[in-house]
Structure 1
Amino acid sequence: MKHLSTIANSVLEQCSVIIGVHLEDLNEEFERGYKAGGTDDCYSRKFFEFCSSRALCAICRRMEFNISESSFSRLTFDMMLAWENPSSLTEESYMENVAKEREERMKPPNGGVQEAIEDIPLFYSDLMPLLVDDERNIGEDAFVWFSSVIPLAADILNARFAFETLTASTTGRLHYPAYDRFFKEIDKCIKYLQKPETPTCAELAEDEFILHVEGTAMTQRVVRHIGGTSWQEGVVFEFPEMTSSTRRDHWLTLIKEVTLLHQFLARFKIESRLQRWEAHARMILGIVRLHAAREMLRIFPPIPTNFLIFTLFDESPKGDLVLDELANGLRQTNSIHPCSPTSILRSMNVCPPYVWSMGIEEKMETSVGPEVAEDLASLESTISQVREEAKEIEIAKASVEGLKEEGITDSIIVLQELLSPLRGVWQWFQAVLKWERPTITLFVLATSLLIIYKEWIWPALAAILVWMVGLMLWVRRKRVRDKCKEIVICTSSDQTPMESIVSAQHALHQFYNIVQTTNIAILKSRSIFESRAPKHTNMVMWAMVGMAIVLIVVPLKYLLMGLLLYVVYMNSKAGRSMSMKQSNKRLKAWWDSIPVVSVRTVSGPCN
C-alpha cells in the first residue's frame, strides 16, 4: 500500500499470511469500522494496529511454539519499528534524521577518536559487549504499545519502567540483540515453570503453584519457618547456606510481591476465580521477566521493582491510583482475551491444575476494541502521572543526599547560615519589645490589642498567609532562583586548632548542662506529681485551682490582653526600674528545695 512505509508493508504481508486473510480484505474490514478524521499518519497507524493485533491474537493461541523461535522476536520487533514509522511520510523523515546522525558521527569530536569510541552505546551480554549502534532501534512508546497488545515483554502497568531498565546502557533505545536475548531468557524461564519439580519437603494444595526453586538440592528449603505454632507468636524466616545478601534480597522481594498480591485481592474483594487468576498470571509473568532480566544483565543487575507490578506501585507515590484502575479492570473480566496473561500462560502450559477446570470462556475477538483502547488510555494517563511524580521525588532525594554526608560540624554551620534571615527578624522583635523605637512599639501594641479584643486572630493569620503568597510571587518575578542557584557557605575559621578544641569542649559542656537541667526538671515535676514533697504539691494544686477559676471567670481575650500589656510594660524603662530580684530569688529557693526522684542505672536487662 502506497500510504504505508516500507517496513509497515513488509510486516503487514507477514500478518496477512498468519491470519490467512488477504491484505485488501483486511483493509476493507478496517474501513467499515474506521471513523474518518485525522491525518494520514494517524490512519496508517490505526490500520497497522488493527492488522498487527489480529496477527498477534493468532500467534498467542500457539504461544508455546512461537516464543522459542527467533522469527517471533524478529517479527514483533519489526512490528514496533513499523508502529513508530507507519506511513511513508514518517519514514522519509526518519531516514533524513538517520542520515544527519551518520554525518555527525563521521565528524571527529573535540576529544578525538577515544571519546568517539566511548560514546558508542553498548549492550553487555555474558560473553562480550555487542556493538549495536547502526541497528534500527525502537523507543519507549512503541514498546508500551506492544505491551498493551500482548503482555509478554512487559505489562502495560510497568512497561515504561521495564523499558527504562532494559535500555539503561543504550541511551533509551532498545536494540534487537538485547530484545532477542530477553525473549530467549523468558523462554528458558517458561520452560523451567512448565515442569517444576516439587520438593520432597513440601505438599502443594490444588491452587498452589511453584514460582521458583533455588539450587539443585530438593530436600533443603531455601525459606524455612522456624519456631512458633501460632501466627500470633510472630514469623521468623531463615535463609540457610546463603553467604551474601544478593540471593536473600531477591527471595525477600519475591515474597513481598506474592504477599502484596494477596493483600490487593483482599483489599478490593476480588472473589471470582477467573479474576483472581488473572491477577496471579500478571504477577507470574512479572517474576518471569525479572528472572530473564537478571540473567541478561548480570554485569548490572536490574532493579527488581521495575518488573514486579504490586511491589512497584506499593512503593510509588499515588501508586494506589494505578491499583484502583487494575482492580476496576479485573472486576469487569468475565472472559479472557486471546492475548491476556491467563491465555498466554495456558497456551504455554504454565498454570496449576484448577485453572484448566474453571471452564474459562475465551473471547472470539480478533483485535483490541474501542472500549479497551479507552480503558488503556485512561490507565496510561494514570501511570504517566505516577511515573512523573516518582521521578520528581527521586530528583529531590538526590539533592538531599549531599547534605546527609556532611559531618556534625558542617551541619551546624549550615544550620546557622540557613537561620540567619530569622536572626534579623528576632533582632527587630527585640528592638520593638525594648522600646528602642517607641512609635513602632506603640503601633504594634495597639494593633495587637485591637486584634485580640475584636477576636480577629483568624483573619490576621489569613492576612499573614496572603502576604507570604505575595512575597513568594515577588521572589518568582525577580527570578531569584536563577540569580542564586546555590547557597555558598564558608566553613573556614580564624581560630587556631587549640581554640577550636576549646570551643568544641565548651559547646559540648553547654549541651551536657542542658540535658542535665532537663532531666532534673522532669524528675522534680514527677516528684511534685507523686506528692514526694507534700508541701510543694499542695502549693502547686492551690495555684492550679486558682488559675482554673480565673480562666472560668475572666474571658480569654482579656487574659491575653493583660499578659501582653504586662510583657510590654516590664520591658520598658519604667518596668526595668522595678526590682524583681527578691521575687526571683524566692522562686529559685522554692524550686531548689524540691527533691528529685532517685535514678539508678544498670547495665543488664531491667525488670
Structure 2
Amino acid sequence: MTTVSKARNVLEGLVREGSFKWLIKNRTPFDEDFEEMGESSSSGRSWVSELSPLANVVVRRCSKIMGMSTSELQDNFNADASDSIKHPQCYARNLLEYISFRALALSTQVIGYLEDKKFRRLTFYMMLAWEVPAASSQPFTNVDDDLAVGMDAFCRIASAVPIIADVVTSGNLFEVLASSSGGRLQFSVYEKYLNGLKRAIRKFKSNSESSLLSNLRSDRAEKIMEVDGTVTSQPVLEHIGISAWPGRLILTDHALYFEALLVVSYDNAKRYDLSDDLKQVVKPELTGPLGTRLFDKAVFYKSLSLGEPVIMEFPELKGHSRRDYWLAIIKEILYAHRFIKKFRITGIERDESLLKATLGILRLQALRDLSNVSPVCCETLLLFNLCDQLPGGDVILETLANMSSSRELEQKHGSKSRGMYSISALTMASNLGFVFGTSPPINEGRLAVGDISVGETTALERAIKESRRNHKKVVMAQASVDGVKVEGIDTNLAVMKELLSPLVVIWQWLVSLAYWEDPMKSSVFCLICSFVILRGWICNAIASTLVFLVVFMALSRCFNNKGMVDELKVSVPPVMNAVEQLLGVQNVITQAEEIIQDGNIVLLKLRGLLMSVSPQASQKFSFALLTMALILAILPIKFIVVFTFLGAFTSYSPWRKDSSDRWIRRMREWWFSIPAAPVVLVKEKRKPKRGSEVHME
C-alpha cells in the first residue's frame, strides 16, 4: 500500500470514528474538504504525504484561496526555501507556514475579512495544524470537548496577521485569552476576541472620520484613538492648580486634547503634544478636593510647553482600571514617538511604527470588552509600554528599528522573499479599509513583509525570547524580595542589625586595634599597613580583598545545599502597640531633626570662618589651610597618607594618649568658640493659582 493510500485510509477512519466531530458538528465550508479528501478516490492528487491529515485539510483550503494546486505550492516552496528550512525534521511545519502565510496575505486583501467566519476558522485551524503538522504527529485525543491551541501555535500564526497579534506582545495576549481555559485557547474565546477587534476597528474608523477636532488634526492626518468624558456618569476632570473642570478627553496618535464642558457645548480644545520632544512626564497621580491627595485615579502630565503640570482625573466607584487604561494608551503614543525620534525613522517606516502602537491599542480595547478573561494589565499588551518595562527592551526596539533596512535587502531577492514572510502591518491596514499615515501609497512589494520568517527565528524574535528569560529571573527575584519584607520599624531594625552583624564584628575589631587594647596586635597591624602604603600596594590590597570575596562566593556555590541559602534567623522584638509605634516614629523623627540641625550648625560655622565672622578663629583656620597646602605641594602623596594614618592610628597608643586627649580638647574648645553665620527666615507670599493663567500650546 502506498503512502498516499495509507494516509487516505487514516483520514477516512478519523471521519468515520468522529475524530473531526469537533469541526463538523456545525456545517462549515470546510466540510467538503474533509469529505472529498476522505472519500474521493482521486484525493491523492491533493494529498501531501509529509503532512498530517489536519494539515492537509488546511493546505487544501489555502490552495483554493490562492487558486493553485497543493502540488504547485509544494513545488514553489521547494524552489524558494533554503536547505535548512527543507530539512526533514522541520519540513512539514515549514511547508505549512509557507502556504499559510501566502494564504493569509491574500485573505487579508479583502475589506472586512475579520468579519468573515471562513477566515476566523481558517486561522484557528492553522494553529491546530501547526501543533501537529507532520504525518507522524500524534492525532488529537479529546474528541468530546472543544479543542484548543497552545501559546507557540498562537504566537506563530496570529502574529502573521498584525491586527490579531504582535510578535512582541503575543505571549501576554495569549495568556489573557487562555486564562479561563487552563492555558489553552478555545475557538469560542478566539471568536469573541475577533468580534471585539471588529467593533474596535469600526469605532476607530468612525472617530477618525468624524468632525471631532477636524481643524486641529487635519494638518498631520491624526487618527483618534479614544474619547472619554462624553457620558455624565463618567466625567473626566482636568485639574490645574487647585481648580478642576469637567470635559471631554480625546487621544490621537499625536496628541492629547481636552475640551472643557460648557452649558450646552464644549470649549476650545487644549492640546498636549505627545509627538514633539518636550521632555514630557506621564505618570499616575493622586487627587482630591482642594488639592488633597486621597484618590488614586488620575494621570499626571508635564512638559516644557506648560507653565505648571496638568492632572486628568477619571472618577469611578471602585478601583482605578479606567485610569490605568488611559495611562497606558497615552504612554504608548508618547513612547512610539520617542522611538521614532531616537532612531530617526521617517517615511513609510514611521507610519509603520505608529500603526503598531495603534493596533496595540485596538487589541487592548477588544480585550476590555471580553467578560470571561482575567483582569487586563494594560502595559503588558502594548508594544512600546512592554519594551519600556522588559529587561533588554531597548534591544528589542533597536532590533525593530533595524528591520526596515533588512526588509529592503530581502526585497532585492525578488520572488524568493514572496511567501517566506508574514504580511506587514501597514499593508494589512490598507486592506482593513482605512489609510494610515501621511506617506504616499506603497508600491506592491514595498515593505510588504512582516516580522515572522518561515522556518527561521528572526533577530526580533531572538531578542524577545532573551528578554522574556531575563524577565522571568526578575519576577522570581522580585517575588523573593516581596517575601522577605517585614512590617514595623522595630522588626526592620532587628533584621538590619542581624544582616550587618559581620560588619559590626569587623568594626569592633578595628576599634580595639585603634584603642590599643592589645599593643602587640595593634603594632603589627600598624607596621603592615604602613609598609603597604609606602610600597604603593593599596590598589593591590583592595584587589586581593575582591579576589577573596570571589573565592568565598565560589566556595559557597560549591558547598551549599543544592543552591539553597541558610535562612537568616532574627529574634523578633517585643510586639509594640499603636501608641508605642507612634512614639517610636516620633523619636526617630526627633533624632533625624537633631542630626539635620547639627549639620546646619557645622555648615553655618564653616560659612562664618570663610566670611571672617570671628577674625581670630578665621586666622587660625587660614594658617591651618596654608600649612596643609604647603605639605601637599612638597611631600609625595604616599608619605602624606602614611603620616596621616600613623597620626590617627597611634593617637590612643600608650605613649601618645595623654597628648592626644589634650589636643582633641583644644580643638573642641576652638570649634565651640566659632560663632555661626546669621540666618533670617523670610516667608514668601504665594499668589492664588488659577487655571486660566496656564499657557497652553
**What range describes the TM-score normalised by the shorter chain of this pair?**
0.7 to 0.9
Structure 1 residue ranges, 4+ long, deviating more than 6 angstroms after superposition: 227-230, 335-338, 364-369, 494-509
Establish whether residue 45 from structure 1 lines up as the match of residue 70 from structure 2: no
Q: 1:392 aligns with which of 473, 493, 503?
A: 473
Q: Distance in 1 between matches of 2:643 and 2:359?
A: 72
Change in CA separation of 1:459 and 1:238 when aligned onto 2, cut-off 3 Å: closer
Q: Is the CA contact (8 Å cut-off) linking 2:557 and 2:563 kept in structure 1?
A: no
Q: Distance in 2 between matches of 1:581 and 1:565?
A: 16
Q: Is the CA contact (8 Å cut-off) linking 2:430 and 2:436 kept in structure 1?
A: no
Counterpart for residue 174 of structure 2:
163
Establish whether residue 468 from structure 1 lines up as the match of residue 516 from structure 2: no
Q: Distance in 2 between matches of 1:366 and 1:270?
A: 17
Counterpart for residue 584 of structure 1:
664
- Listed as ranges, the matches of 1:130-141 within 5 Å are 134-141=145-152
1:523: how far off?
A: 2.2
1:339: how far off?
A: 2.3
Kindly provide the amino acid, as one letter, of the partner of residue 104 in structure 2.
L
Establish whether residue 429 from structure 1 lines up as the match of residue 477 from structure 2: no
Q: 1:221 aligns with which of 238, 245, 248?
A: 248
Deviates more, 1:76-85 or 1:457-466: 457-466
Q: 2:445 aligns with which of 358, 363, 378?
A: 363
Establish whether residue 525 from structure 1 lines up as the match of residue 606 from structure 2: yes
Q: 1:32 aligns with which of 79, 90, 96?
A: 79
Q: Distance in 2 between matches of 1:288 and 1:300?
A: 18
Q: Is the CA contact (8 Å cut-off) linking 1:338 and 1:363 kept in structure 2?
A: no
Deviates more, 1:7-16 or 1:436-445: 436-445
Change in CA separation of 1:563 and 1:136 when aligned onto 2, cut-off 3 Å: same
Q: What is the DSSP-based 3-state SS (H/G/I as helix, E as strand, rest coil) of the residue aligned with 2:228? A: coil
Q: Is the CA contact (8 Å cut-off) linking 2:229 and 2:247 kept in structure 1?
A: no
Establish whether residue 205 from structure 1 lines up as the match of residue 192 from structure 2: no
Q: Is the CA contact (8 Å cut-off) linking 1:167 and 1:173 kept in structure 2?
A: yes
Counterpart for residue 389 of structure 2:
315
Q: Distance in 1 between matches of 2:306 and 2:95?
A: 61
Counterpart for residue 108 of structure 1:
none
Counterpart for residue 52 of structure 2:
5
Once the two structures are superposed, residues 300-346 of structure 1 have per-residue CA deviations (whole angstroms, 9 ceiling, x without a partner) of 43111222211221232221111111111134556898821112111
Change in CA separation of 1:374 and 1:42 when aligned onto 2, cut-off 3 Å: closer
Deviates more, 1:182-191 or 1:566-575: 566-575
What is the number of residues matched between the two proteins?
A: 565
Establish whether residue 193 from structure 1 lines up as the match of residue 182 from structure 2: no
1:437: how far off?
A: 4.6
Establish whether residue 65 from structure 1 lines up as the match of residue 116 from structure 2: no
Q: Distance in 2 between matches of 1:158 and 1:495?
A: 48
Q: Is the CA contact (8 Å cut-off) linking 2:490 and 2:573 kept in structure 1?
A: no
- Listed as ranges, the matches of 1:175-190 within 5 Å are 175-190=186-201
Counterpart for residue 184 of structure 2:
173
1:352: how far off?
A: 4.5
1:285: how far off?
A: 1.1
Establish whether residue 547 from structure 1 lines up as the match of residue 645 from structure 2: no
Q: Distance in 1 between matches of 2:615 and 2:664?
A: 22
Change in CA separation of 1:13 and 1:368 when aligned onto 2, cut-off 3 Å: farther
Q: Is the CA contact (8 Å cut-off) linking 1:54 and 1:366 kept in structure 2?
A: no
Q: Is the CA contact (8 Å cut-off) linking 2:424 and 2:447 kept in structure 1?
A: no
1:439: how far off?
A: 4.8
Once the two structures are superposed, residues 334-391 of structure 1 have per-residue CA deviations (whole angstroms, 9 ceiling, x without a partner) of 6898821112111111225855xx131122999989x945885221111111122223
Counterpart for residue 328 of structure 2:
253
Kindly provide the amino acid, as one letter, of the partner of residue 218 in structure 2.
A
Change in CA separation of 1:208 and 1:504 when aligned onto 2, cut-off 3 Å: closer
Q: TM-score, normalised by structure 1?
A: 0.82
1:460: how far off?
A: 1.8
Q: Is the CA contact (8 Å cut-off) linking 1:40 and 1:87 kept in structure 2?
A: no
Kindly provide the amino acid, as one letter, of the partner of residue 187 in structure 1.
K
Q: 2:131 aligns with which of 79, 84, 98?
A: 84
Q: What is the DSSP-based 3-state SS (H/G/I as helix, E as strand, rest coil) of the residue aligned with 1:89? A: coil
Counterpart for residue 377 of structure 1:
458
Q: Is the CA contact (8 Å cut-off) linking 2:52 and 2:133 kept in structure 1?
A: yes
- Listed as ranges, the matches of 1:104-119 within 5 Å are none
1:280: how far off?
A: 1.9
Change in CA separation of 1:285 and 1:598 when aligned onto 2, cut-off 3 Å: same
Once the two structures are superposed, residues 554-603 of structure 1 have per-residue CA deviations (whole angstroms, 9 ceiling, x without a partner) of 11211222223233433333333x34444333322222222223445577
Q: What is the DSSP-based 3-state SS (H/G/I as helix, E as strand, rest coil) of the residue aligned with 2:356? A: helix
Q: Distance in 2 between matches of 1:367 and 1:201?
A: 34
1:468: how far off?
A: 0.9
Deviates more, 1:275-284 or 1:194-203: 194-203
Q: 1:267 aligns with which of 329, 342, 355?
A: 342
Kindly provide the amino acid, as one letter, of the partner of residue 561 in structure 1.
V
Change in CA separation of 1:283 and 1:517 when aligned onto 2, cut-off 3 Å: closer
- Listed as ranges, the matches of 1:587-598 within 5 Å are 587-598=667-678
Q: What is the DSSP-based 3-state SS (H/G/I as helix, E as strand, rest coil) of the residue aligned with 2:345? A: coil
Q: Which runs of 5+ in 1 are unaligned?
A: 100-132
Q: Distance in 1 between matches of 2:372 and 2:556?
A: 49
Q: What is the DSSP-based 3-state SS (H/G/I as helix, E as strand, rest coil) of the residue aligned with 1:135? A: coil
Change in CA separation of 1:338 and 1:544 when aligned onto 2, cut-off 3 Å: closer
Once the two structures are superposed, residues 420-463 of structure 1 have per-residue CA deviations (whole angstroms, 9 ceiling, x without a partner) of 11122123223333444555434433322222111121122111
Change in CA separation of 1:262 and 1:534 when aligned onto 2, cut-off 3 Å: same
Change in CA separation of 1:463 and 1:162 when aligned onto 2, cut-off 3 Å: same
Kindly provide the amino acid, as one letter, of the partner of residue 643 in structure 2.
G
Q: Is the CA contact (8 Å cut-off) linking 1:305 and 1:311 kept in structure 2?
A: yes
Once the two structures are superposed, residues 486-541 of structure 1 have per-residue CA deviations (whole angstroms, 9 ceiling, x without a partner) of 32312134999999999998877665554443332222222222222222122111
Deviates more, 1:219-228 or 1:514-523: 219-228
Q: Distance in 2 between matches of 1:511 and 1:246?
A: 39
Q: Which runs of 5+ in 2 are unaligned?
A: 1-47, 233-245, 250-256, 259-268, 274-302, 412-417, 688-697
Q: Distance in 2 between matches of 1:333 and 1:43?
A: 24
- Listed as ranges, the matches of 1:337-348 within 5 Å are 339-348=423-432
Tell me which protein shows more strand as a share of its residues. 2
Q: What is the DSSP-based 3-state SS (H/G/I as helix, E as strand, rest coil) of the residue aligned with 1:574? A: coil
Counterpart for residue 128 of structure 1:
none
Establish whether residue 276 from structure 1 lines up as the match of residue 350 from structure 2: yes
Establish whether residue 487 from structure 1 lines up as the match of residue 487 from structure 2: no
